[in-house]
Amino acid sequence: MAIDITVAIPDTARVGEGPFWDAETRRLCWVDILSGTLHDDDPDALVRSAIQLPTLVGAAVPKASGGWVAATAEGFTDIAPEGTWIARQDFLPQGIRMNDAKCDSAGRFWAGACAMDFDAGRGALHVLHPAWKTDVVLVGLTQPNGLDWSPDGATFYLIDTQARELLAFDVVPDQLAPVDRRVLAHFPASLGYPDGMTVDANGDLWIAMWGGGRILRLSPEGDIVGQVQMPVAQPSSCAFGGPDLDVLYVTTAREGLQPGPGDPAGSVLAVTGLSVRGLPSRRFGG
Write out the catalytic residue numbers: 195
Amino acid in the structure at residue 91: F
Which residues touch 75 (CB under 8 Å, ≥6 apart)?
88, 89, 90, 91, 92, 98, 126, 134
CA–CA gap between residue 208 and residue 193 (Å, rounded): 8
Count how many Cα atoms sit within 13 Å of the Cα of residue 146 in the half-sphere of its side chain: 33
C-alpha distances out from residue 240 to 1, 54, 121, 202, Å: 17, 29, 31, 13
- For the chain, how many residues are written? 286
204 and 225 in contact (C-beta within 8 Å)? yes
